[in-house]
Amino acid sequence: MQFKMILTLIGLAGVLLVPLADAQSPVDDVLLQMQKAYKKGDTALLTALLPQAQGSLLEPWAAYWALSARLETATPEEVNAFLRRYAGTYQEDRLRNDWLLLLGKRQDWNQFAVVAPEFRMNDDREVRCYTLAMENILTKVNMADEVKTQWYGAKDAGEGCTLAAQSHYAAGQMTADDIWRKARLTTEARMLESTRQVVAIVAPDAGAALTEALKKPELFLLKRPPSSHRLTQELAVLALIRWADNDPDGAAQALDERWSKQLSSAQRAWAWGAIGKQAAQKLSDNALGYFQNASPTAMTDDQLAWRVRAALRQSQWSDVLSAVEAMSPDVANDSTWMYWHARALMQPGRSEADRAQARQLLQDMASVRGFYPLLAEEELGQPITPPPAPAPLTAQEKQRAQSNPGLQRALAAIDLGLRSEGVREWNYTTNMHMPGGMNDRDLLAAADLACQHSVWDRCINTSERTRSFIDMTQRFPMPYRQAVVERSREINLDPAYVYGLIRQESRFVTDARSGVGASGLMQLMPATARWTARKIGLTDFKTHQLSDQDTNIVLGTGYLKLILDDFAGSMPMAAAAYNAGPRRPRIWRGEAGSPTLEAAIWAENIPFNETRDYVKKVLANTTLYAAMITGQTQSLKARLGMIGPRDTSQADNPDLP
């Protein structure tokens, strides 16, 4: 092991951390067995193994697993004893989080009120909602505004937030409009069981009618007589949202011809927003027309985002402007919408005041901190170059990070193979918003510690959180440089592009494995790896070799090159194909007659959230890696280029997986 330590307890007052270089501790197997037992819910085995983990650096994890697995039957005394013994650790606050959720579910407000004030993370929406519910139930304090913020911010209903909404609704502090809004949000998010929970607050007898609206929306809307009765109106909106999921044009026709006059202006606006959003995600030319049936100010931020995207595809800059200006301030201040807001203000015919506002927006966001900040730099004519390095870390700063117990436990857990646990403890320890949390220099030192141990994902993610300066060598490390650069140049690939993709795929974690089975640095699926091996002549390849970094790089770069060639060298399209498969980007580029778009507009209109984010990050990464590798000014716009319908004289490779 690269990082082994033991923990010597000195009473309950403190700890002494003693490094054991590359020693195989006999407790390692016990810890690994306990993690597996925890995942299986084997409380008996956890209890039996716990004594063997005492004295280990990772003892807090062992104790957490043992108690958390049987928390529902644990006594308050047992929980309090754990919280005292492991005070100040991530595991203490993690168990407090779990305990608060259980107490809230039981509505044990006496215990909840004692435990909640000590919760340090304060990052669990449900815990906060239970707190709001408790305060309302016990004292009738009106916290409706925060309840709505928490409730609307979650995709599902959530037991705690639903309870808080129920109590405020019963007290007359939330209205039926508030509840129906959440029902529409959960329906748009396809969280239909949550929709049922929400609707039950205001219409507990909706039953069969609600089921029909959600499961057979066409039948509900076409067979049921339109009515101005409130329940029927609201169920019709839910049915329109559901129908639009599969057939926005059909839903639009039903709304326009049958239901429009029976709905309020607010209900119609939401329905048109939902229909427009689904049409926009299908890249339909009808999308913008559907959006224009209602005022932007009556739509949700998510609907407005898709309204902007639809307007960008059709170069309707005035609609871009009105949609962005209708967004809530927090959303409008996101770099995505700041950039397109500025671009809309810069269009021909705009006033000098508009252009001045556009320049200010671009100046406010221009930096190397992401895709749109980089584009803003180019719009302002500023060169894309690495910023100056921060002052070197002092020996004291490095020592403070090295001696931090939370960071030590995190590294030890990752080294042992407990990556999930290690990452969570690392993130908790480096949380600058916690009481006594880390400042920028502390984060820089923690990132340096992760780099020194080749824990590249924590190195990158920790360094990305510094605000007053940027360390590019931490944020954009180049491990395995010889293998990446040599292999890339052998097959005529830009090594910066390969590094940009690896950074997004795996953060340089060699044993990374996705939920769908992709493996290694370049996150290859086994079938894709076998296909690529055949294409590049790697005849003796076996799937288990994907965990070998050099083999993974050879196959990943080989596949990327084949994709890039198939898309005529378009980096955005090849990145989209690497993430979502080649078939989808071919569809997204449109058929003959479709407009040729700036690649930034094309990427922003990718229907899949993950792929849209992926393409933008890979291209931003690539631009910055190129600046670091070459030492020369770079252009993100040049890498993006333009994207239009495929050249019909060039055949696609149907064999490409």
Q: Give Cα 540 distance to the centre of its chain.
A: 38
Residue 486, token pair as written in the block: 């040599």
User: In angstroms, rounded to a whole number, what is the distance separating the alpha carbons of residues 513 and 54?
Assistant: 31
Quote the Cα angle for 282-283-289, to 5°.
105
Cβ–Cβ under 8 Å, residues 261 and 236: no
* Residues 258-283: b if buried by 16+ CB within 10 A, e if exposed: ebeebbeeebbbbbbbbbbbbbbbeb
197 domain residue, yes or no: no
User: In angstroms, rounded to a whole number, what is the distance separating the alpha carbons of residues 473 and 56?
Assistant: 34
Is the per-residue pLDDT at 21 higher than 50? no
Is the per-residue pLDDT at 6 higher than 50? no
Q: Which of 102-116, 190-204, 539-553 has the lowest mean pLDDT?
A: 539-553
Are 406 and 540 found together in one domain? Answer: no
In this prediction, residue 227 carries a pLDDT of 92
Q: Classify residue 85 as exposed, middle or buried by CB count within 10 Å of its CB (0-12, 13-18, 19+).
A: middle
User: In angstroms, rounded to a whole number, what is the distance separating the alpha carbons of residues 18 and 28?
Assistant: 16
In this prediction, residue 539 carries a pLDDT of 87
Are 623 and 498 found together in one domain? Answer: yes
Last residue of a domain, one of 475, 500, 517: 475
Are 622 and 496 found together in one domain? Answer: yes
Are 575 and 524 found together in one domain? Answer: yes
Mean pLDDT of all residues in 216-234: 95
Confidence of residue 1 (pLDDT cuts 50, 70, 90): very low
In this prediction, residue 26 carries a pLDDT of 85
399 domain residue, yes or no: yes
Tokens 């109590």 correspond to 167
585 domain residue, yes or no: yes
In this prediction, residue 11 carries a pLDDT of 31
In this prediction, residue 433 carries a pLDDT of 73
Cβ–Cβ under 8 Å, residues 488 and 557: yes
User: In angstroms, rounded to a whole number, what is the distance separating the alpha carbons of residues 599 and 560?
Assistant: 19
Residue 10 DSSP SS3? strand
Confidence of residue 63 (pLDDT cuts 50, 70, 90): very high
In this prediction, residue 208 carries a pLDDT of 95
Cβ neighbours around 54 below 10 Å, total: 12
635 domain residue, yes or no: yes
Active site residue 146: no
User: In angstroms, rounded to a whole number, what is the distance separating the alpha carbons of residues 287 and 308?
Assistant: 11
419 domain residue, yes or no: yes
573 domain residue, yes or no: yes
In this prediction, residue 23 carries a pLDDT of 53
Give me the percent of the chain exceeding a pLDDT of 70. Answer: 96
In this prediction, residue 152 carries a pLDDT of 97
Confidence of residue 655 (pLDDT cuts 50, 70, 90): confident
**Terminal alpha carbon distance of the chain:** 38
Cβ neighbours around 489 below 10 Å, total: 11
For the chain, give the mean pLDDT: 94
Q: 231: Cβ–Cβ under 8 A, 6 or more apart, which residues?
A: 203, 206, 209
Q: What's the pLDDT tens digit per position in 251-300? A: 999 999 999 999 999 999 999 999 999 999 999 999 999 999 999 999 99
Cβ–Cβ under 8 Å, residues 390 and 469: yes
User: What are the φ/ψ torsions at residue 14 (nearest 5 degrees)?
Assistant: -175, -175
Q: H or E segment at 643?
A: strand 642-643
Is the per-residue pLDDT at 12 higher than 70? no
Are 10 and 36 found together in one domain? Answer: yes
Cβ–Cβ under 8 Å, residues 554 and 538: yes
User: In angstroms, rounded to a whole number, what is the distance separating the alpha carbons of residues 463 and 435?
Assistant: 20
151 domain residue, yes or no: no
Residue 648 DSSP SS3? coil
Are 508 and 558 found together in one domain? Answer: yes
Confidence of residue 2 (pLDDT cuts 50, 70, 90): very low
Domain carrying residue 106: 5-118
User: In angstroms, rounded to a whole number, what is the distance separating the alpha carbons of residues 516 and 528?
Assistant: 13
Last residue of a domain, one of 118, 146, 164: 118
User: What are the φ/ψ torsions at residue 231 (nearest 5 degrees)?
Assistant: -60, -45
In residues, how long is the chain? 657
In this prediction, residue 5 carries a pLDDT of 36
Q: What is the CATH number of the domain that holds 583?
A: 1.10.530.10
583 domain residue, yes or no: yes
Q: How far is CA 615 from CA 125, 313, 605, in A?
A: 30, 18, 11
Confidence of residue 225 (pLDDT cuts 50, 70, 90): very high
**Closest CA relative to residue 226, chosen from 202, 261, 266, 184:** 261
In this prediction, residue 14 carries a pLDDT of 35
Quote the Cα angle for 502-507-511, to 5°.
95
Q: What's the pLDDT tens digit per position in 573-610? A: 999 999 999 999 999 998 888 899 999 999 999 999 99
Is the per-residue pLDDT at 3 higher than 70? no
Are 631 and 492 found together in one domain? Answer: yes
In the chain, what are the helix, strand and coil shares in percent, each to the nearest 5? 65, 5, 30
Is the per-residue pLDDT at 19 higher than 60? no
Residue 292 DSSP SS3? coil
Cβ–Cβ under 8 Å, residues 19 and 59: no
Are 624 and 556 found together in one domain? Answer: yes
User: In angstroms, rounded to a whole number, what is the distance separating the alpha carbons of residues 319 and 311?
Assistant: 6
Last residue of a domain, one of 70, 92, 118: 118
In this prediction, residue 24 carries a pLDDT of 59
Is the per-residue pLDDT at 242 higher than 70? yes
Helices (H), 519-643: 526-536, 549-566, 571-580, 583-588, 599-604, 609-630, 636-640
In this prediction, residue 592 carries a pLDDT of 80
Are 469 and 485 found together in one domain? Answer: no
Q: Helix count (H) and strand count (E) of the chain? A: 38, 4
Cβ–Cβ under 8 Å, residues 254 and 243: yes
Are 485 and 468 found together in one domain? Answer: no
Are 77 and 25 found together in one domain? Answer: yes
Q: Which of 175-179, 351-355, 525-529, 539-543 has the lowest mean pLDDT?
A: 539-543
In this prediction, residue 442 carries a pLDDT of 97
Q: What's the pLDDT tens digit per position in 506-553? A: 999 998 888 888 999 999 999 999 999 999 999 899 999 999 999 999
Is the per-residue pLDDT at 22 higher than 60? no
Are 494 and 617 found together in one domain? Answer: yes
Q: 323: Cβ–Cβ under 8 A, 6 or more apart, which residues?
A: 291, 296, 304, 307, 308, 311
User: In angstroms, rounded to a whole number, what is the distance separating the alpha carbons of residues 477 and 459?
Assistant: 9
DSSP secondary structure letter of residue 257: I
In this prediction, residue 108 carries a pLDDT of 98
Q: How many domains does the chain have?
A: 3
User: In angstroms, rounded to a whole number, what is the distance separating the alpha carbons of residues 327 and 301?
Assistant: 6
Beta bridge pairs of residue 18: 6
Pick the catalytic residue: 92, 425, 505, 604?
505
Q: H or E segment at 636?
A: helix 636-640
Cβ–Cβ under 8 Å, residues 453 and 138: no
Mean pLDDT of all residues in 220-235: 95
Mean pLDDT of all residues in 419-442: 91
